[in-house]
Structure 1
């Protein structure tokens, strides 16, 4: 079979099918297309970026990539399972796949694994930042992108001390972060003035960015079609796939068979069903998150702000304010629960009362993020003609460009 070569002289397939048109899927399609691979993107939705990429927190959090599993979280699991934390809840289940996932999660809750997983995430985050810069130097894409910086605000002294220790570790691995007093934080971000006296310190990451992931998906998809001849098959349901040593085949629910040299699976939580027969059915746990987008208030933030204790994100986006929060680990229903959304609005208005027009109209959203037990995506060859790029969890928008590069680089190893 004829194959092309990339700059590293690695053999590449001539054609590839990418399943998924969220941020990970379109980024992966781009990483292949710029290497000369003929790409076909398939997604069941009518519009790209309609799943977990649609209205997430919008932060490109390249530096703050701490793993979810930690010793401190392990101590709080019974508390979370009882639903006593409004910001983070567990949905316990006797499903064997969930039990298997939680056992792996608990094994990752040691101090050593937390550090290893967090630093590996930082490395991928920094790779993503470089890949995003390279993309935007090559193509002009409109998705509300800003290099606005990010502020993490702490109201617990012990948590702040632990966070400061992590700053030193990240700095030793190439991250740029500053530890700020409350007054220093207010000087950089005036919206925090309303919280004066109610927080003990902040961590500022000047290199963090933000952007609208849904707009990114569709802007990049348009560029892929016009500049690289990528074929796009939206509103196409995939029933199953198969692959041998020579080719991969995707079968749609209408009975169509689509073939290519390589299959790239980037379908988020839907990968669970596609990969169940291949030993990966228990690799992903759904985590439901909420957001709302409102008009800016009288004192809107100029950068991303994360209230660490309440796990709420504020992000200035496209002239509006995107607020995201609430984590329900194990929840599979994507419907917006009005009570949960109201809880998020109430908590956000308590944190930053004048950041957004909370009394006005706003759009509420809920989505499912695919979590791995160590909070790191699974990027590997499943078979000679099949590669997976899944499990990005809460950092899918952040990791998309870097994980796409890693996945594309694997294709020279047929």
Structure 2
């Protein structure tokens, strides 16, 4: 079949790779001049099934309330009367029960664990380099009460397939000696040896090149998707800024813009943009940096070691499609980095970035067929798009081919 993939982030690129590997004629339409220049350009770099907890939960409500009085918490809410935001917020609140939080976490964890296997399969098959490290991730805490609560939190996913170890400070420094200079700020944490790290932009860029060279995938860059031509419940063509392109099927992977496009074509797709900030800094002294990825759970700051670079990430800001940033937005993450890895970085050399995560109210992506027989979704991955990208792409290729997916599809397929 001739399949159009709308969006060349890491999710869309992975989908294109798997579909082309199945023998389809695939063209990717991207508004940027190259793959992975939107949401996938810069993130925490974590491939982290350990971060599969659904955002919508009873605890999330408490965090949002606290954020009103504590702007340094890492969650920022810009109130809005926008009907789309209000609708999304109402749906999010409906997911904030304990039962729904556990159910959504189960789906995310299932896909995240599968996707980690898929990323590593692609790495082994293709040799693509993306500064990956398979050393695990540490989720650490600054006081005993937080550690005790975190251990209880992680126990849930530990009972469902993710290997986790609760560690005291001594054991933490054994698995992550890079934190040895952090003083007595850390009491312990959770070590997830199955988690890993890597550069999503580097991965998507090189996978796109491989898809072109090995499977004949075409990329239409600097091209805006404008609409669909539909006849008899099927998509006949995709309208773009460079004309209409006929197709046998199409896949929507437009990140935070997916919800906007969905509303335009009559599909209920509650994707809302949630802003995050990252800083990428060369390590002044690699010996003083981390050896693996980590999350400062009490500061809401995540980081990855990408070659001889340190990637810092933080904040969940509800500000619509605003992608602007200012120096003060990065102060908290730099403060944490200096505390944890003194002498490792010079923040004046940082590449600063802000981007949008495509969040669904239940934190679960939508993957599969829509109301149009040949129009598919692969979007809404939120803050773990890099983690879930390859598993989503392979899952989608199975759905398109009519094969039984490797994992249980329950909870992933779009509602009719």
- TM-score of the pair, normalised by structure 1: 0.91
Alignment check: 8 A CA contact 1:131 1:402 kept: yes
Asked if the contact 1:291–1:364 (Cα under 8 Å) also holds between the matched residues in 2, the reply is yes
Give the conservation status (yes or no) of the 8 Å contact 1:101–1:282: no
> Is 1:28 matched with 2:15?
yes
Cα deviation for residue 218 of structure 1 reads 1.1
Residue 77 of structure 1, CA deviation = 2.3
1:400 to partner: Cα distance: 0.2
Stretches of structure 2 that go unaligned for 5 or more consecutive residues are 404-416
Taking the aligned partners of 2:166 and 2:394, their CA distance within structure 1 comes to: 32
- From 358, 361, 372, the counterpart of 2:346: 358
| Alignment of structure 1 residues 8-407 onto 2, 5 Å | 14-81=1-68, 84-244=71-231, 245=233, 247-254=235-242, 256-280=243-267, 283-298=270-285, 299-354=288-343, 356-382=344-370, 383-407=372-396
Measured against aligned partners, the alpha-carbon deviations of 1:61-87 in whole angstroms (never above 9, x if no partner) come to 123311111212212323324563441
Q: CA deviation at 1:326?
A: 1.7
Looking at structure 1, the residues matched to 61 and 84 of structure 2 have their Cα atoms a distance apart, in angstroms, of 20
Instruction: Please give the alpha-carbon distance, in whole angstroms, between the structure 1 residues aligned to 2:277 and 2:227.
Output: 31
Q: CA RMSD in A?
A: 1.9
Name the CA shift for 1:281/1:331 in 2 (closer, same or farther; >3 Å): same
Contact 2:281 2:347 in 1 (8 A): no
1:210-230 Cα distance to aligned partner (Å, 9 max, x none): 111111111001111110011
Partners of 2:262 and 2:279 in 1: CA distance: 32
Q: Deviations over 1:113-171 (max 9, x none)?
A: 22221121111011101211221222111211221210000124333223222333323
User: Equivalents in 2 of 1:318, 1:45: separation in Å?
Assistant: 26
CA distance in 2 between partners of 1:364 and 1:68 (Å): 25
Partner residue of 1:9? none
SS at match of 2:60: helix
| Greater Cα shift, 292-301 or 374-383 | 292-301
The separation in 1 between residues aligned to 2:228 and 2:25, in whole angstroms, is 19
Q: Structure 2 vs 1, CA of residues 86 and 313 (structure 1 numbering), >3 Å: closer, same or farther?
A: same
Alpha-carbon offset, residue 306 of structure 1: 0.7
Alpha-carbon offset, residue 297 of structure 1: 4.5
* Contact residue 79 and residue 85 of structure 1 kept, 8 A: no
Q: CA contact under 8 A between 2:45 and 2:303: conserved in structure 1?
A: no
Cα distance in 2 between the residues matched to 1:351 and 1:94: 40
Which range moved further: 244-253 or 147-156?
244-253
What CA distance in whole angstroms lies between the structure 1 residues aligned with 2:101 and 2:234?
Answer: 40
Q: Structure 1 runs of 4+ off > 6 angstroms?
A: none
User: Contact 2:227/2:265 (CA < 8 Å) preserved in 1?
Assistant: no
Q: Which moved more, 1:173-182 or 1:343-352?
A: 343-352
Render the CA deviation track for 1:372-414: whole Å, top value 9, x for unaligned.
1111111121110100111111100001011112222221459
Length, aligned pairs only:
399
Question: In structure 1, what is the Cα distance between the partners aligned to 2:132 and 2:236?
Answer: 36
Please give the TM-score of this superposition, normalised by the length of structure 2.
Answer: 0.91
Q: Distance in 1 between matches of 2:277 and 2:23?
A: 38
Q: Distance in 2 between matches of 1:111 and 1:161?
A: 19
How big is the shift at 1:99? 1.0
Separation (CA, whole Å) in 1 of partners of 2:170 and 2:64: 34
Measure, in 1, the Cα distance between the counterparts of 2:217 and 2:378.
Answer: 19
